[in-house]
Structure 1
């Protein structure tokens, strides 16, 4: 038990089937010894409890109750044990799923970002990171930049979501084309209002190692088209931008790759 836990927990390779059988047998057998010693007339022998323990533990570990039920029935050939085996396997599976969504077979895949229970789209998007699609060379404006200069920059760079930074190059907000549209044609206002005055301060951000599924979920939060990508260690330092179009384009490329290969 200890060797199996250390090996699998440290990321090493090792089987789980035989350890699951052993742990289930020892747990069930120990419980059987105790209850049979206390109630010798009303209970079965420890061997029967060990058998049921194997089925229950195997079902819980794999989240597959039918596997445990049929395997143990074939091993014993005893139809009398099928009812308690069914109850134990189903209860074990329900408890295991409540404690952890993944089985011992799918846990490693989930840690790698592969969600086999999700649809094909989610699985593909979860395999691509934001850092692979972000635009690193993006324009930013100082918080004291006038609205006039900001609009000129948007037109020149053809970027309609621009992060606003302070003297320390820390993002203090973001300005979108929707923010400037109400005063776009008011020349007097454009030369007075500063970027920080109209910037959205509560900015939704992404990290470079977030996957595209996370990005799409954040795009849907406020129906936005672009999100700043910030440094992992310095969450107010902008390292790029990613757009909804970038995510969809990356998804289409991944689908095409899988179809070709």
Structure 2
């Protein structure tokens, strides 16, 4: 009894030491990802201020035509000659690494996306810095986990810690960072794994507060309190954001596809850079992340969106201003897609927030203009921002909590929830996948959002192959087969020729009535008893294919054949056993 108690205490001590190690690593990830977010935001601000800080607000500025092209050119040159790897679509790359590469993210992603995106966005590229810094954080988590030789489940958890730290650092929003990891990356995490996520998130946020002060990213003051009579309009705002999210997703992918059809990178860069410059020249709010425009919308300065544009003098015309807002909603996603497809590096986070805030503002402004209502423009801009995130990213909780944390608008949590849910329900009717997961889902490579597929993905066909079956030659007699049966613990016998080619198989049940008839031992040959299996597996098949073949065939054993050569067998029992062990491994507690 004492020995059992000692064993239990030893096991408990090992678990505690293991968790303590994870806590320290998650803390380190929080520190590093927080510093990365800090550096990126300051780089973007420094470059942008040096370029446009002197522009005259009352007229168009022709430098808008050139700066985006220059920024993308610098980015492309860095990628081509220094990084030499694809850096586009940061969050999608994380999902791909989880789905296809067991969470292994290349070490250069710990800094390369951060450097290149600072030039893209600093020179006016109409994208956000969040996806690059999330990829940076995830890469930091992945590489630190492998450096400390953590197991597969812990590597996934550390990737989540990196992503959480990145979001928390760039937005000073630790809760939103955790929600992002759980809702967007969809890692199969348990309640116990929330502790490392929270450690990374709060550590990164504290670093951001320490170096950047306690000012929130968006200055929002609740001037107009929520009124129940406005609920139908918030539902309408959510539905509008849902359809706007559908437009955002479809147009982004369509524009990128058309741009990528231009095979020559230099031509794509020139066309895209010029087109982006023209759009920003006509609509200056498209410049960069667009957070300054969101602040104007939140602080009753919506008409200042016409600053630096050719249309500055038309700001007093309400119908023209409404048309200008509508145009912004339609072209922002085009500018975003052109930026990334031309070679720029950035994400959809900031464009989504921009379209949401301007969309909510536009809807309330138009309803007030047409029907003489008095809807609070700032509140609807806030609700639109949360609703747009819920729609584009299929993440209603992220839309609610990130918007509330960013703006300090917790007093408007109720309309935020209404609008976010309405947007999510609306887009799910038309688009089952978020903009992050759509590409992987179309290629059948998305596993993070399907737990069964995720477990199968981390199983290897090679570790399931059994080779202890007795092999017999097709020319052997029944007597030879009986001798093999006497030495075997299995009831299945592969028939293999001298070249190693599988010719068929013999099942014990099929010959049970013959094995005691000694007079037939020399008269019947194995080739007369064998049959070729209808279903078999290639060693190159994925575990998803193996599982499907077991399900459709109803067999308990399947032969593994490589170009006709016999390799071994896989049994349903062993697949189930390894499946359960894999589930247990990834159920971190």
Q: Is the 8 A contact 2:386 2:399 kept in 1?
A: yes
> TM-score if structure 1 supplies the norm length?
0.62
**Which residue pairs with 2:502 in the alignment?**
171
Structure 1 residue corresponding to 2:370, chosen from 41, 65, 83: 41
Matches within 5 A, 1:17-36: 19-28=347-356
Structure 2 residue corresponding to 1:67, chosen from 398, 408, 411: 398
**Which residue pairs with 2:477 in the alignment?**
146
Cα displacement string for residues 197-241 of structure 1 (whole angstroms, at most 9, x for unaligned residues)? 33332343344466878767755666654332333xx2x322123
Q: Is the 8 A contact 2:360 2:384 kept in 1?
A: no
**Deviation at 1:153?**
1.7
Equivalent residue pairs, number: 248
**Deviation at 1:68?**
1.7
2:530 is equivalent to residue 199 of structure 1: yes
2:463 is equivalent to residue 132 of structure 1: yes
Which 10-residue stretch deviates more, 86-95 or 31-40? 31-40
Aligned-partner Cα distance in 1 for 2:505–2:561: 13
Q: Is the 8 A contact 1:230 1:240 kept in 2?
A: yes
**SS of the residue 1:238 aligns to:** strand
Aligned-partner Cα distance in 2 for 1:33–1:127: 46
Cα displacement string for residues 10-39 of structure 1 (whole angstroms, at most 9, x for unaligned residues)? 755542768443232344467679989998
Q: 1:5 to 1:144 in 2, by over 3 A?
A: same
2:89 is equivalent to residue 5 of structure 1: yes
**Deviation at 1:111?**
6.2
Aligned-partner Cα distance in 1 for 2:536–2:389: 42
**Which residue pairs with 2:565 in the alignment?**
237
**Deviation at 1:158?**
3.4
Q: Is the 8 A contact 1:59 1:66 kept in 2?
A: yes
Which 10-residue stretch deviates more, 243-252 or 161-170? 243-252
Q: 1:37 to 1:51 in 2, by over 3 A?
A: closer
Please identify which structure carries the higher strand content: 1
Aligned-partner Cα distance in 1 for 2:456–2:422: 39
> TM-score if structure 2 supplies the norm length?
0.32
Q: Is the 8 A contact 1:125 1:251 kept in 2?
A: yes
Aligned-partner Cα distance in 2 for 1:6–1:205: 39
Q: Is the 8 A contact 2:560 2:568 kept in 1?
A: yes
Structure with greater contact order relative to length (CA < 8 Å, sep ≥ 6): 2
**SS of the residue 2:351 aligns to:** helix
**SS of the residue 1:182 aligns to:** coil
**SS of the residue 1:99 aligns to:** coil
2:424 is equivalent to residue 89 of structure 1: yes
**SS of the residue 1:164 aligns to:** strand
RMSD, aligned α-carbons: 5.1
2:505 is equivalent to residue 180 of structure 1: no
Q: Is the 8 A contact 1:173 1:203 kept in 2?
A: no
Please identify which structure carries the higher helix content: 2
Q: 1:193 to 1:242 in 2, by over 3 A?
A: same
Aligned-partner Cα distance in 2 for 1:154–1:21: 65
Q: 1:137 to 1:202 in 2, by over 3 A?
A: closer
Aligned-partner Cα distance in 2 for 1:115–1:161: 38
Q: Is the 8 A contact 2:390 2:421 kept in 1?
A: no
Which 10-residue stretch deviates more, 55-64 or 42-51? 42-51
Aligned-partner Cα distance in 2 for 1:245–1:80: 52
Q: 1:211 to 1:185 in 2, by over 3 A?
A: same
**Which residue pairs with 2:487 in the alignment?**
156
Q: Is the 8 A contact 1:163 1:175 kept in 2?
A: yes
**Deviation at 1:88?**
0.9
**SS of the residue 1:149 aligns to:** helix
Q: 1:178 to 1:215 in 2, by over 3 A?
A: farther
